Amino acid sequence: MEYVRLGRTGLRVSELCFGTMSFGSSKWRPWVLDPDESEPFYRRALDAGINFFDTANMYSNGASEEVTGRFLKAHGNRDELVIATKVHFPTGPGPNMGGLSRKHIEQACESSLRRLGVDTIDLYQIHRLDPHTPPEEMLAALDSLVQKGKVRYLGASSMYAWEFAKLLSLSERNGWARMVAMQDHYNLLAREVEREMHPLCEYEGVGVIPWSPLARGHLAGTRKAVGDGSNDTTRGQTDGIDELLYTADSDAAVLDAVSAVAERHVRPMAQIALAWVASKQAVTAPIIGVTKLEQLDDAIDSLEVELTDDDIAELEAPYVPRRQAELGRPSLH
């Protein structure tokens, strides 16, 4: 495992970020693993040298943060770990239990600190923008958390490039802590962020940590054909969101290309798809989500894959640009 800087910061993170949406409570989603089933994944990730862990306060209604904090404390060295979490989506009933108001941000941060069992969150990210809160209020609240030592770095997820540019500009003009990471939706089936978001991040020195680099398992070959309703996984059968994200006519051709390149390299499709994401200059570390140990092993082994220029050209050729709305920008994860 090698370690890279997150954007232009001095923070060094592993080439893979361990996503924890799959761990917490099966009562929240049927494909989520309960604590006893989750522990081996954290141990395996730590043994492999992964030091970057991403969760959110809404995953399993907080149970994901609890599980993450417990197992990282039991098996990891806190001083070497980079723990990221997110705020925005509602975590309970009531008008102030979601969004990005100063009240909710401060309360949500305290709750995340408690569940994670840490004094400081390394990377605190807005899970989505809140159209009902002025950006100045949100950014000032986030800055205050940095000044108080509750948070070390700030980040964002899934928005338009112009929106992110506005946030960066506001922070600079007001002397507030600046966002250093962008968690966006990026994979071989969803490449629209290459147009504006990634060039913006490279110019501004923002690290990109894509979510769903395997397109919810499609790029791992768990679906026989995109949009045909056949899925061998519990998540695919119950999630529903993937059918909104991956239904373009061109998706099947992309999967064929991944399969062909994988056959040439004698590697699983998942390793090829992850290697492609990791090869992009803007990307710091793809966020991997797994529910089987062999999936985690594939992600780790993908770091050994070296794609040629011809491989990359073959993988990218079938993609057909589509409207951003089809990629689930506002509210999907």
- 245 is a domain residue: no
In a domain, 227, yes or no: no
Q: pLDDT-derived band of residue 249, with 50, 70 and 90 as boundaries?
A: confident
- 3-class SS of residue 317: coil
pLDDT of residue 243: 62
Q: Examine the pLDDT at 29 and tell me if it is beyond 70.
A: yes
**Does some domain include residue 158?**
yes
In a domain, 47, yes or no: yes
CATH number of the domain within which 110 lies: 3.20.20.100
Choose, from 59, 124, 153, 186, the residue flagged as catalytic. 59
- If pLDDT is split at 50, 70 and 90, which confidence band does 333 have? very low
Tell me what pLDDT residue 224 has: 54
Residue 319's pLDDT band, with cuts at 50, 70 and 90, is very high
pLDDT (tens digit, 9 = 90+) per residue, 140-196? 999 999 999 999 999 999 999 999 999 999 999 999 999 999 999 999 999 999 999
Residue 210 buriedness (CB in 10 A; 0-12 / 13-18 / 19+): buried
Q: Quick one: pLDDT at residue 127?
A: 97
pTM here is 0.92
Residue range 259-306, pLDDT digits in tens = 999 999 999 999 999 999 999 999 999 999 999 999 999 999 999 999
Confidence bin at 246 (pLDDT 50/70/90)? confident
Q: Is there a domain that residue 37 lies in? A: yes
pLDDT of residue 330: 43
What's the whole-number mean pLDDT along residues 42-50?
A: 98
How far is Cα 159 from Cα 59, in angstroms, rounded to an integer? 20
**Mean of all residue pLDDT scores within the chain:** 92
Q: pLDDT tens for residues 90-107? A: 988 999 999 999 999 999
Residue 222 lies in a domain: no
Q: Name 154's bridge partners.
A: 124, 179
How many folded domains does the chain comprise? 1
Report d(CA 274, CA 277) in Å as an integer: 5
pLDDT for residue 78 is more than 50: yes
Q: Which residue range forms the structural domain that includes residue 29?
A: 3-216+277-306
- Tell me: pLDDT of 326 over 70: no
**Is the residue at 179 inside a domain?**
yes
| pLDDT the model gives residue 147 | 98
Q: Where are the alpha helices (DSSP H) in the chain?
A: 35-47, 63-75, 102-116, 135-147, 161-174, 197-204, 234-238, 242-245, 251-265, 269-278, 293-301, 309-316
Q: What percent of the chain has pLDDT over 90?
A: 86
pLDDT surpassing 80 at residue 9: yes
Q: Is 153 a catalytic residue?
A: no
Residue 328, pLDDT > 60, answer no
Interaxial angle between packed helices 161-174 and 135-147, expressed in degrees from 0 to 180 and rounded to the nearest 10: 60
Sequence-distant (≥ 6) Cβ neighbours of residue 8 within 8 angstroms: 180, 205, 206
Residue 265 lies in a domain: no
